[in-house]
Amino acid sequence: MVLTLPQLCARLGIPVPTLAGRPVTIQGVSTLELASETDLCFAERLDQTARVATSHAGAILVPLDFPILAGPRLIRVPDPRAGFFGIAESFIPVPDTRGIHASAVIDGDAVLGEDVAVGACAVIAGGVRIGARCLIGPGCYLGPGVTLGADCRIEANATLHRDSRVGARCRIHSGAVIGGDGFGYQWDGQAHRKVPQLGRVEIEDDVEIGSNCCIDRATLGITRIRRGTKVDNLVQIAHNTDIGAHAILVAQAGVAGSATVGAGALIAGQVAISDHVEVGAGARVGGQSGVTRDVPAGAAVFGTPARPMRETFKELAALAQLPRLLKQFKVQRREIEALERRLAELERGR
C-alpha cells in the first residue's frame, strides 16, 4: 500500500494542502517518535507540539488549531485520531490463507460459501454452514451445525463447538473457545453431578472476540452476544448470559451464569459479575470490581462490592487519611492522659 498526498487527502475528505519539500509518499503508519519519512502519524493535543516538531514522519495529522511549525509536514483535519485510524486500516496485512489447504478436513455435508478460505489442519464438521468470503485459520475446529455469516475471520486454533451461530463480519481471535460446556453441577449427596449443557451460543453481527476467550453454551436456551460488542482477550462469559449490543468487556473480566450486560455497557479489566446480576445499559464498571447486585442503567460503579464510583472514591480518599489521623489521635490521647494525671494531682493536693 502506497498513498500519495492527493490519495491521502481524498480518503480524509479534505482539500490537498500545499506542503514544502519532497512529495509525500505514505507507505505505513507509526508513532511520532518512531516514524520514518514514509510514515503517517497523528497528534491531537497541543502538549504534543514538541514531539511533533522533532518527528521524522512523512506527514502528521493535527487539529485545525494546531500551531504552525517549520519542518514537519502538517495536515490539518477536524478529528486527527479518527482520520489516522481510518487510514491505518489500509495497512492491515492481508492474511496469506487462500483457497482450501490440502491438509484441511472438511465433511462432505458442510457448505462453504463463495471465496471461503480454509487454513492448514482446520477441521470442519458435518452440517457446518460458512458464509461467503470467510477466512478459517490454521488449526481451527468448527463442530457439527456451526453457522458463520459472510465475511467472518476465525483466527488460528479457535474452536467453535456444535450448533454455535456467528453473524456476519465477526472476528474470533486465536485460542478462543465458543460453545464449550457451561460450568454447572448438582450435589447429589455424595458427589458433584454434572448438569447437561444442551443449549448453544449465538453471536450477532460485527462482534469481535479476543484471544483465549471462553463463551459457554447455555444450559438450556441461548448464551447471546449481541451486535457490535467487542470482547478483549481472556474474558470468561458463562452459560445463559446475555451481553447487549455494542458493549465492551476488557481483559480478564468474568460474567457468571444468567447475568445480563446491557447495551453500550463498559466492563473494565478483571471485573467479576455474579450470576443473575443485571448491569444496565450504558453502565460503567471500574477495573477489578466485584458486581454482586444489579447496576442501574448509566451508572458508574467501582469496588468490591461495586458501589457508586464517586462515593467509593471519596471513601478511598478518606481511608488514605487514616494513618495521619491515627497518629494525631495517639498524640491527643497522650495529651489527654497527661491532663488527667495533672487534674488528679491537683485534686489530691486540696
pLDDT in tens, 262-298: 999 999 999 999 999 999 999 999 999 999 999 999 9
Total structural domains within the chain: 2
Q: Which domain holds residue 42?
A: 3-91
Residue 29 lies in a domain: yes
Average pLDDT over residues 213-233: 98
Beta strands 135-136 and 117-118 are parallel
* Residues 183 and 298 grouped into a single domain: yes
Residues 187 and 301 in one domain: yes
Q: Where are the alpha helices (DSSP H) in the chain?
A: 5-12, 49-53, 80-88, 309-320, 322-348
Q: How many CB atoms lie within 10 A of CB 86?
A: 13
Catalytic residues: 239
33 lies in some domain = yes
Q: Quick check: 94 pLDDT over 90?
A: no
Whether residue 242 is predicted with pLDDT greater than 70 in this model: the reply is yes
* Residue 107 to residue 128: CA distance in whole angstroms: 8
Domain-located, residue 75: yes
- The C-alpha atoms of residue 271 and residue 54 are separated, in whole angstroms, by 40
Using alpha carbons only, give the angle 259, 282, 237 rounded to the nearest 5 degrees: 30
91, 111, 137 — which closes off a domain? 91
Burial of 212: CB neighbours in 10 Å, binned 0-12, 13-18, 19+: middle
**pLDDT at 98 exceeding the cut of 80:** no
Verify that 84 and 166 share a domain, yes or no: no
Q: Is the peptide bond before 305 cis (omega within 30 degrees of 0)?
A: yes
In a domain, 229, yes or no: yes
Per-residue confidence (pLDDT) for residue 19, from 0 to 100: 84
| CATH assignment of the domain containing 263 | 2.160.10.10
CATH of the domain at 36: 3.40.1390.10
Amino acid, single-letter form, for residue 161:
H
Q: Is the confidence at residue 345, as pLDDT, over 90?
A: no
87 and 186 assigned to the same domain: no
- pLDDT computed for residue 96 by the predictor: 66
Residue 18 lies in a domain: yes
On whether residue 170 sits in a domain, the answer given is yes
Does 322 fall in a domain?
no
For residues 42 and 163, membership in a common domain is answered with no
Helix (H/G/I), strand (E/B), else coil: 131: coil
Beta 236-237 vs 254-255: how paired, if at all? parallel
Task: Return d(Cα 148, Cα 131) in angstroms, integer.
Answer: 6
Q: What count of Cα atoms within 13 Å lies in the side-chain half-sphere of residue 137?
A: 17
Does residue 254 share a domain with residue 174?
yes
Percent of all residues in the chain with a pLDDT value above 70, rounded to a whole number: 99
What is the distance between the alpha carbons of residues 77 and 260, in angstroms, rounded to a whole number? 40
Residue 236 covered by a domain = yes
- The answer to whether residues 72 and 176 belong to one domain is no
| DSSP character string of 323-348 | HHHHHHHHHHHHHHHHHHHHHHHHHH
**74, 91, 108 — which closes off a domain?**
91
What does the alpha-carbon distance between residue 193 and residue 328 come to, in Å, rounded to a whole number? 57
Which pLDDT score, from 0 to 100, does residue 23 have? 86
287 in the same domain as 203 = yes
Query: End of a domain among 36, 66, 91?
Result: 91
Q: What is the radius of gyration, based on Cα positions, of the chain?
A: 29
Q: Model pTM greater than 0.75?
A: yes
Q: Are residues 192 and 289 in the same domain?
A: yes
Please tell me the predicted confidence (pLDDT) of residue 313.
87
Same domain, yes or no, for 285 and 204?
Answer: yes
182 and 300 share one domain:
yes
Question: Do 79 and 188 lie in a common domain?
Answer: no
